Structure 1
Amino acid sequence: MRRLSLLLLCLLSSLVHAELPETDWLELMPPSDRKALEQMPEISHDTPEGKGFSAKGGIKQEKGLPAVMYSAKTVAKLDGKALRLGGYPVPLESDAKGRSTLFFLVPYPGACIHVPPPPPNQIVLVRYPKGILLSDIYAPLWVEGPLKVEKVSNDMADAAYALDATRVRPVEDADL
């Protein structure tokens, strides 16, 4: 009986700590946006920001890009769905211990200093009251929790989604 109890406890423990399957960033775009993205011409990085850090900072879209790069169109069936998304943090707020509690998650590193930034439907506002220490914004994270269709706009960026994270952790070599 004791052995069966231990086996059940181990099984329950593994279920509690099991990760959700990874959601691809392109799943956050409706099919029409994915098609437009595939047909988009090459974008030049021949700007001051393309050569390095932007004094302006932020990941707001500049004028003159193809329409899909401004898209805030969302996928309704994802509203409220628990998912796991891998991406890169753009810190917004930290707690007294220096842990990031609010950040944007973007699909590629350096989105806050490179041109062009992702469209709003490729930017997720992550709320994580527990906080996570971010020593390197170029180190990818796994973020888990229910995704919400929620338009967010501030000086830094426009996002079409928000996520109240239940778990945030760095991507490790074993994940790849």
Structure 2
Amino acid sequence: MHRHTRRSMITALLASSFALSGAVALAPSAGAAVPTASCTVTPNANGTSVTIRGEGFTAPRNLNDGESTVPLSVDANGNFQVTRFQKNVDYTVLAVNEDQNFTFVNCKVVKADDSTGTTTGHNPRDDRRGYGDGYRAGRSAGQKSCDETPTPDKSGQQHSDAYWKAWQRGADAGFNQICNSRNGG
């Protein structure tokens, strides 16, 4: 009986150590940010199409609409944007390679503002990124001259309205910090 108990304990200890070592290997290190991937579907104001945007993805990726799968063009920052005419379907972003994180991500539908066609959904990540980019641009502009406040160059850049609003707030804050300290204020 004593020998059986000892074997049971050793077996249990070995099993738990294997289980714990696997959990530790899968857990992110302390303080490490866990990256996320997201996808949104925004109907345009007149209801004829939808814009599908994603961020936080690694290439290659496919977009599935329940009937067909097409390749996505994911940029170096992990973003993509496509317009589709199938409005009332569920879109899913699929991994192409087995070792990619976020094997599949279901796209979330956000409402469009009828008057402007802009999204009313709120994305805190766009706020943070926009504010940070704007803040750096504002400080840079203030270091060059306090005569002209910075404005965003939106040509060729696909960002949400939340990003651009946060960019302007950040730019104003960075610009004011430099120019107010220069002017003694």
- Which structure has the bigger radius of gyration? 2
**TM-score, reference length from structure 1:** 0.24
- Determine which structure has the larger strand proportion and give its number: 1
- Determine which structure has the larger helix proportion and give its number: 2
**TM-score, reference length from structure 2:** 0.23
Highest relative contact order (Cα 8 Å, sep 6+), 1 or 2? Answer: 1
